[in-house]
Structure 1
Amino acid sequence: MEERPVDEFDYGRAVYEPLTQSVRQLIDATIRTEVGEDTVAKVQALVDEGARLLSERLVPESFGVQYTRDGRGMPWGNAIIGLRNPIAPPLVIERNRDGSVWCDVELGAAYEGPPGCLHGGISALILDQLLGATAHRPAQPAFTGTLTVRYQRPTRLGRVHGEARVVRHDGVKTYAVGHLENGEGIMVVAEGVFVRPAGRA
C-alpha cells in the first residue's frame, strides 16, 4: 500500500481530480460522438480495462463523507459537489459575509433535458444544494424538508449563475430562497425549508 502524505486532502485532490475531469470529458464525448462502430468498440475495451483496474480496490458501498486526520471533510462522492464524482458539474459554492451563497457553473451535454436546455431535475438538484448550503450553520447540519421549484423559462445549456440566502429561522427550521440565472435573466426560482435534527436547534 502506498503511504499517503500528511495532507490527505491535497493528496486526494492531486491524484483523483484529474481522473474525474477526464471521465467528465469521456461522458461528454460519449454523448456527442459520431465515430463509427470500430472506434466505439476500441474505446469500450479501453473503458472496460480502466474500470477493471480501478475496481481492484474499492471502498464498500458509497463514498459518503470521509475525513482527513485533522478533521477536514471530503464529501467527494456527492452528486453535485463531489470532487471524485464525474456526474457532478461540479458545483463550487462561494459564501458571502452575510451567509448568502452563489456559484457559477458550466453545464453541458450531460445535463440536457429539452433540446439545448438544462433538465429541470438538474436545476432542482443545484438549487437544493445551494439553499442547503446557506441554511447550514457550523456544527448544525440542516436537511431538506421541502423544496418548491418554479420554472419561469427554459435554461439554455452553458454558464449558469446561482444564488441563495436565508430569509428566516424558526426553531429547528430554516427558510431559504434562491434562483438560477444566465444572460437572459432569472430562469428558475426556489423556496426551501431545511430542518436541523432534534437537539441541534
Structure 2
Amino acid sequence: MLDFPVENLSAEDVERLRGIYEPLTKSVRELIDATIRTEMDGDAVAAAKAEIDAATARLRGRQLEGPFGVRFGSDGDQMPWGNVVIGMRNPVAPPLSFIPSEEGGVSADFTLGAAYEGPPGHVHGGVAALILDHALGDAASSPDKPRLTGTITIRYRRMTPLGDLHVEAAIVRTEGVKTFAAGRLADAHGVTVEAEGVFIQPRWARD
C-alpha cells in the first residue's frame, strides 16, 4: 500500500510511483494484444480468465473514486497518467511521448498494434483522429496556457497501416485566445492523415 497521496509529489516519489505502476501497465498492454490474437483452446482461455479476474479483484482492493485526472508534482510538472494518448498508467494509450521540435512544434514516434485496428491491418480512422487531436493540442498549448480543441478537420490521404508511425504538429498562427495548428500522421512511405484545428484558451486559464 502506498504511504503518500498521488499529488504534490517530489521527483523521487514520482519515480517511485512510476516504478510501481508502469510495469503493470505494460503487462496489461501485452494482455490486451494477447487477448485479441490468441488461438488457445477453451480450457486455456477459461484458466486465463480466472487468473485475470483474480488479479482484477486484487487491484480493486484500493482504488480512486472516478478517473485519475491530472496530478501535479511538487515542482509543478503534470502527471496525466490516465490520459488515453499519453497516459503512463493507461494500457489503452499507445502511449505517445512527445518531443519538442526546434521549430516550436512537437513530434512522436510510436507503434500501433492489433488493439488499434479498423480496416484489416490498418489503424482505425478514429484512432488516427484521436492522436492528431492530441498532437495539435500539445503543440498549441504551454504549461501556463492550456488550449482546448474548438474545431478540428481531418483529411485521410490513404489508409494508415498498423506498425511504426510518426506524428508531428505545429502552430500556424495565434489570434487572441485562438491558436491555429496543423499536423500529420505518417508511416515509412509518407503522410497518411493530415489535420488542422483551432484551439481555444479556456476562460479559467486567461490572464
TM-score (norm 2): 0.93
- Provide Cα deviations, 1:80-139, integer angstroms capped at 9, x if missing partner: 000000000001101013321100010000000000000000000000110001000230
- Provide Cα deviations, 1:153-189, integer angstroms capped at 9, x if missing partner: 0010000101101000000000000000111210000
The alpha carbon displacement at 1:66 in A equals: 1.4
Quick check: 1:162 aligned with 2:167? yes
Q: Which residue of 2 aligns with 1:200?
A: 206
Q: Give the distance between the partners of 2:206 and 2:62, measured in 1 at CA.
A: 37
How many residues of Structure 1 are paired with residues of Structure 2 in the alignment? 201
State which of 25, 29, 32 in structure 1 corresponds to 2:30.
25
Q: How does 1:29-108 map to 2 (within 5 A)?
A: 29-108=34-113
Q: Which residue of 2 aligns with 1:139?
A: 144
- Provide Cα deviations, 1:33-80, integer angstroms capped at 9, x if missing partner: 000000000000010011000001111101001122333221000000
Q: Which residue of 2 aligns with 1:3?
A: 3
Q: Give the distance between the partners of 1:125 and 1:111, measured in 2 at CA.
A: 11
Q: Give the distance between the partners of 2:52 and 2:26, measured in 1 at CA.
A: 15
4+ aligned runs moved over 6 Å, structure 1: none
5+ unaligned residues in a row in structure 2: which ranges? none
Q: Give the distance between the partners of 2:202 and 2:164, measured in 1 at CA.
A: 35
TM-score (norm 1): 0.96
* CA RMSD across the alignment: 1.4
